[in-house]
A and B are shown apart, each in its own frame.
Chain A
Amino acid sequence: MKIQFDKDLEILGQMLIDMYKKVEELIKLSNKVLFEDDVSRIEEVSKLEDKINYMEVEIDNHCVTLMARHQPTAIDLRFILSVSKMSNHLERIADLGVNVVKSVKYISSNVLKEYIGDMKLISIISNQMVKDAMSAFIEHNTEKARAVCVKDDEVDALHKANFRKFLDEILKSKIDPESGIDMVFISKHFERIADEATNLAEEVVFYVQGKNIKHHLEDKVELH
C-alpha cells in the first residue's frame, strides 16, 4: 500500500480546496464592493490576492515534488496534472475579481447605482459555475462538471447583451463613455470568470475519466 503517497495526494487535494475557499472569499468581497459600494473592503481584496498567489506557487511546488519522487501513473498522474492546472485557473479567477474592484473605482456613483442591476445575473451565474466546478471536483462528479461547461453559453449571451446595451447607452449619450466602457469591462470580467469555471470543470472530467473535453474536441475525435 502506498500510504505516504496517498497521504501526499490527499494533502494536495486539500491545498486546492483551501485555495478555492480563499478565492470564494475574494469574489464575495469583490461583489460587496461592486453591488454595495463598500469601498472599505478594497484593501482586504488586495491582501487576499497575495495570499492566493502564494498558495498557487505552493501547489505547483508540491505537484513537482510528487511527480519527481513517485513517477505517478494513470489516475494519480491525472489528478496531479489537473490540480496543478486548476490552481492556475483559480488564481486567474482571483485576478478577475480584483479587476472588478479596480473597474468600480472609475465608474461614477450615479452610473453604478442606475446600471449595477444589469451585472447581477451574470455575476450570480458565473460565481455559481465556479462553485459547481469545485464541488464536482470534491464529489468526482463528471455530470456536474459537464453541466458547468454547458452554462458557459448562457454567460456569453448575457455579456453580449450587456455589451450591446452599454454601447447603445454611450451612443445615445445616456452614460459617459468612460463609465460605459468600465461597465462593459466588468461584464467581461464575469464572462471570463465563467470561462475559467469551464476550464476547472474540464479538468475534473480529465482527472476522473481520463477524457480531454477541451475545445469541444470530444465531439470530434477519440483521443485514444
Chain B
Amino acid sequence: MYNEQAIIVNKLENGNDLMEKGIIRVENLSAYYGELEVLKNINLEISPNKITAIIGPSGCGKTTLIRCLNRLFETVPRTRFSGKIFYKERDIISYDTTDIRKEIGMVFQRPNPFPTMNIYNNVIAGYKLNGLKLSKLESDQLVEETLKKVALWDEVRDKLYRSSTELSGGQQQRLCIARTIAVRPGVILFDEPCAALDPISTSKIEELMLTLKEDFTIIIVTHNMQQAARVSDFTAFLMAGQLIEFGYTDMIFTSPKDKRTEEYITGRFG
C-alpha cells in the first residue's frame, strides 16, 4: 500500500513539494545595515499558493528578510544586500520598484488604513495613487468583491463612505488586506499581522489567510508559534540572520531536525 516512491509522487501531485520551482527564490542572500550583517547567506524557495511562516527570536532578521522580497529594505539608508531574489523566475532588481511592490504586497503589524480616505477609497487606493483609472462600475465591483473576500462587506456595506478610522482594529486590518489584494498581487507578506489584535480578531485574520491562499501566495512573519503551527504549510526558522531549518510545518513542530529549532519551538530559548 505504501512505498517511498508513492509518498514522493504524492507530494508532487499536491504541488506541495520543496523541489517544485518556487514563486519566490532566494539565493545566497545577505543583507547589511552599514557594516552589520543581519542576514547571512539565505537560500529559500517559497511555494506558490501556500502559507510560509517565518519564525525566530527577536532580531533574527525575519522582517528584514521579507522587506528584501519587495525591495522595501533598500528604502532604509545605508542598507545593502548581496545575492539574488527571483520572483516568477525574474530577478527582482529588474522590476520597477512600484511594480514589484504591487506584485508582492504587504500587510503590517499595526493596521494602517489611510486616515484621510473613506473605506471605499482605501480599498481602491492602489489604483488611485498610481493613476490607474477605473470606471465607477469597475470600482464598485472591485470594492464589493474585495471586501467580500476579506469577510468585511456585510459589516461595512452601509458605511463605505465613512472614515476607515471608525472601524475596530480587526476591521481596519481586514481593510488593509482588502487594499493589498485589490491590486491583485501574486504574493502577500504579513508582518505580524495580529500582534495588535484581540484573540477573536486574530482568529478571523487566520481564517482569512487560509481562504486567501487559494488565490495568493502568503508569507507570514510571526512571534506566535501556535499561529505559525495553525495556519502555515511551511515554516522557516531563522536565528541570528541564518536560516537554521526549513520544512513542512507539521514536521517542524513534531520532529524538527535541528536541535536549535527544537529548543526554540519548545520555548527553551528565545
Contact = CB atoms under 8 A, between A and B. Distances in A.
Same complex origin of A and B: yes
Interface of A: 1-2, 5, 71-78, 209-211, 217, 220-224
B2 A221 contact: yes
Contacts of A222: 4, 7
A142 to B, nearest CB: 13
Interface string B237-270: 0000000000010110111100001100111100
A1 B266 contact: no
A71 B230 CA distance: 12
B225 interface: yes
B12 to A, nearest CB: 15
Nearest to B255: A210
A223 B8 CA distance: 10
Contact of B265 (A74, A223, A224): A74
A221 B266 contact: no
B4 A75 contact: no
B254 A210 contact: yes
B256 A220 contact: no
Interface in B1-51: 2-4, 6-7
A95 B19 CA distance: 50
A73 B230 CA distance: 12
How many chain B residues sit at the interface, stated as a range, is: 20 to 34
A210 B2 CA distance: 19
Contact of A73 (B3, B7, B248, B253): B253
Contact of B254 (A5, A71, A77, A220): A77
B2 A217 contact: yes
Contacts of B226: 71
A2 B266 CA distance: 9
Contacts of B253: 73-74, 77
Given A71-B226, A73-B225, A74-B256, A224 B251 contact: yes
B152 interface: no
User: Which of A71, A76, A211, A224: most chain B CB closer than 10 A?
Assistant: A224
Contacts of B268: 1-2
Given A73-B254, A217-B2, 18 more contacts: A5-B267, A71-B226, A72-B266, A73-B253, A74-B254, A74-B256, A74-B265, A75-B266, A77-B253, A209-B255, A211-B255, A220-B2, A221-B2, A221-B3, A221-B4, A222-B4, A224-B250, A224-B251
B248 A224 contact: yes
Contacts of B262: 74-75
Contacts of B4: 220-222
Nearest to B6: A221
B266 A76 contact: yes
Contacts of B256: 74
A73 B265 contact: yes
A222 to B, nearest CB: 6
A221 B11 CA distance: 13
Nearest to A212: B255
In the A-B complex, the 7 residue pairs with the closest CB atoms: A210-B255, A221-B2, A224-B251, A73-B253, A73-B265, A74-B262, A2-B267
25 contacts: A2-B266, A2-B267, A2-B268, A71-B226, A72-B266, A73-B225, A73-B266, A74-B253, A74-B254, A74-B255, A74-B261, A74-B265, A77-B254, A78-B254, A209-B255, A210-B254, A210-B255, A211-B255, A220-B3, A220-B4, A221-B2, A221-B6, A221-B7, A222-B4, A224-B255
B229 interface: yes
Nearest to A76: B266
B218 to A, nearest CB: 22
Contacts of B261: 74
Contacts of A223: 7
Contacts of B2: 217, 220-221
Contacts of B6: 221
B36 to A, nearest CB: 29
A73 B229 contact: yes
B177 to A, nearest CB: 26
Contacts of A75: 262, 266
A12 to B, nearest CB: 15
Contacts of A210: 254-255
A5 B267 CA distance: 10
Nearest to A81: B254
Contacts of B254: 73-74, 77-78, 210
A222 B226 CA distance: 26
Contacts of A77: 253-254
B126 to A, nearest CB: 38
